[in-house]
Structure 1
């Protein structure tokens, strides 16, 4: 009988990590995510310390690693894993492998720069220097371990353990992970939902329904609510853009470089093609997002058929034709120049929760201006600057300065790349015979709400594990 240990993303939304061990000694790590933001029980610095803490397993003893998708809360500690001696294969879908290179190298660069900045301050105070969590060399070492697997193909990742990736519809390359465990003449099946996409999300396909499992791990990021109708959200966004143009200010959109940015550019392109985009310029102030755009275009065969046909129907074949007023910035000087623009611009920049990146500088220059509009198109985790603004803070601290929040703040839940409560229940409802169900990757109150809804609608008792819990499969 195999054992599964719940390590990360347990009653929180980041740090996804689970260890599968079989009786004949095989050890497979499912996810290796970084903790981000701040949970109710952990401060930001606690999460930084958690990312640097020793793994609760020996990386050298792992036989394989399986990654559902490229977001850092699912993959961000892979370089540290390689740094600590892991040298086995890392399995992911083909397009996920491409995005992993972008995400991990960028993360390593940030780790090195943050350590360099911190050490400048420490030198002034005669404090010992710190080392980065991992380096570009560590990230490169991890990327060399990638093994590409196409959707629907089954691969034996370790003796007696077979994995099949199914489309999760969350971001490009995202996967539902189906794991078959064969030992002593018996087969047991574990299904990990990964992050399930919303059926309203553009470009991505609907998550693949599965019906056979002995144990299911179900994400619960939005386990307490359903998202607004996608068409209503688009109408709201169009209204915000029109009002911002009348007010004479800019529109700032904090956005994740991978996934959310591509959704936004698709929608803004639709507005442009339909003559409904009042702004004269859209700036994508994220070199990483620009690179992600290219990866998305290389894998356009994975787009939903309806969206691909819509784009083809406009006669456009390239992004500069789809949204001709889009400009991308590369250098820091180009980014800083945007702060001189007083009105008429849409600026999309990372990070999505305003925990760093170029959006922080743009907020410093626009957040205090009543004529400006800030649009949050996705979830803001506890402890992030984005969450503070969404929750109605009158002032926030940005780059060591106290800034008043006078801009108009908007949240667009309908743009979430995560399934809402009803979509989660619908997807898990396809499973026959009600396998053991465990809720993961969600704040506790979201899990409690989803647990109750599953009981009320399906008569299904879902378990909420504690960190470090182990179950038999």
Structure 2
């Protein structure tokens, strides 16, 4: 068996691991590299293997850095099955179509600039036709049920607790009369997070490919984040202003809606209008509603005892659809909460809300996720006095608050506890999906715990097992 780490190797994005067994090939994930446009465009465009030579793609979850390059794989000749969980398949219907629209829009933007400088135009990485072709290849398997990947390889999905439908993949591989068990963590979630069940502790694994995103830090607890949200809301209500929350459409938006529902239902904050102003987040919320079987006991208990079976719906909440409805929010007076994409405030409707409200000292901008360098979200976190929105400078008079407890990735304690439970049979750990500092810190922690063979592969490196 040979594994080649074609993505998320010594970096976080672009998850893509090619496994060759018995002369056949399958992929674990096919995500987009994210970052500087020119560098990532080239990386994402070219595969270092023949796409048509891959028999099957096994997808851990629907996030773009794990699934976002699937249409390009299909465009380049892949035609095999794409197997994931039912919820991930439904989320991918929205996420991949949205990604195709972004690819087309980005190419159009770049080509306008190139035209002014007589440069050659670029093609989008893939288009909506490629996305539709890819979605036709999707099939689904529920958690805890065995399925065939290729001849000689079977797999089962287990709850990863990262986002709805996210999966740990355990593969049983038979080659030359020998049996080996390989596990891929995908992105591992946290214990005690709202809505989702905790990650499953698996057993009897020989080799492990494991994420290391936050291998060097400890998160604040979800309860602390909930308490901090209450404090921010009470302060905003007292000032009478709007609370604007840049949010990722998948997972974070639904957690915020659920948390606000809890706070109002329990009388911890006044009842105030909440607007979910992101078409993608609105669609994603319908997938969450359709998969109550994946909720944790806390969410199910609240649905029973509150008298409202839909935890993503309450009288104060409005799902905003049209552009006109979105614009109308600007004419309404606070206090209110506006949850809007994108999560780093780089694109989407949240930019309009920030432009119209960031100069008001009664406004609160609440940051609830990690912000990449050079993004508007990062500049707000760093308390810059002026920021550029739609090409114009705006004085930041709004209050900027940050809550760090909502991360959907396990921290060092969660990652090490999960991996160390495999001690005994486990021969080797491959750390992926992490920058060098977090990965090396996690490797040291695992070695300290008794897992002596921990390896941090380079991009495109192959290992034979």
TM range (shorter): over 0.9
Q: Say whether 1:337 aligns with 2:328.
A: yes
Residue from 25, 30, 33 that aligns with 1:32: 30
Q: Say whether 1:386 aligns with 2:377.
A: yes
The answer to whether the Cα contact below 8 Å between 2:420 and 2:449 also exists between their aligned partners in 1 is no
State the alpha-carbon separation in 2 of the partners of residues 354 and 451 from structure 1: 33
Q: Say whether 1:401 aligns with 2:392.
A: yes
State the alpha-carbon separation in 1 of the partners of residues 40 and 391 from structure 2: 21
Name the SS for the 1:348 alignment partner: strand
State the alpha-carbon separation in 1 of the partners of residues 74 and 389 from structure 2: 34
The CA deviation at 1:359 is: 1.8
Partner of residue 324, structure 1: 315
Q: Say whether 1:273 aligns with 2:265.
A: yes
Q: Say whether 1:443 aligns with 2:442.
A: no
Q: Could you tell which deviates more after superposition, 139-148 or 345-354?
A: 345-354
The CA deviation at 1:460 is: 4.0
Q: Could you tell which deviates more after superposition, 183-192 or 310-319?
A: 310-319
Partner of residue 211, structure 2: 219
TM-score, structure 1 as length reference = 0.93
Q: Could you tell which deviates more after superposition, 123-132 or 63-72?
A: 123-132
Partner of residue 18, structure 1: 17
Q: Could you tell which deviates more after superposition, 328-337 or 210-219?
A: 328-337
Q: Say whether 1:429 aligns with 2:420.
A: yes
Partner of residue 314, structure 1: 306
The CA deviation at 1:319 is: 5.0
The CA deviation at 1:234 is: 1.0
State the alpha-carbon separation in 2 of the partners of residues 319 and 359 from structure 1: 24
Partner of residue 38, structure 2: 45
> Which runs of 5 or more residues in structure 1 are unaligned?
none
The answer to whether the Cα contact below 8 Å between 1:4 and 1:470 also exists between their aligned partners in 2 is yes
The answer to whether the Cα contact below 8 Å between 1:194 and 1:218 also exists between their aligned partners in 2 is yes
State the alpha-carbon separation in 1 of the partners of residues 80 and 53 from structure 2: 9
1:301-359 Cα deviation digits (max 9, x unpaired): 11112320122111112357x42111121122222333344531211111122232222
Question: Aligned in 2, Cα 1:44/1:109: closer, same or farther, shift over 3 Å?
Answer: closer
Name the SS for the 2:444 alignment partner: helix
What do you get for the CA RMSD once the two structures are aligned? 2.0
Residue from 164, 169, 174 that aligns with 1:172: 164
Q: Say whether 1:416 aligns with 2:407.
A: yes
Following superposition of structure 1 onto structure 2, how do residues 18-417 of structure 1 map, counting pairs within 5 Å?
A: 18-22=17-21, 24-36=22-34, 38=35, 43-52=36-45, 54-123=46-115, 125-278=117-270, 280-318=272-310, 322-341=313-332, 343-417=334-408
The CA deviation at 1:44 is: 4.1
1:94-121 Cα deviation digits (max 9, x unpaired): 1111111010011112222333344445
Corresponding residue pairs, total: 464
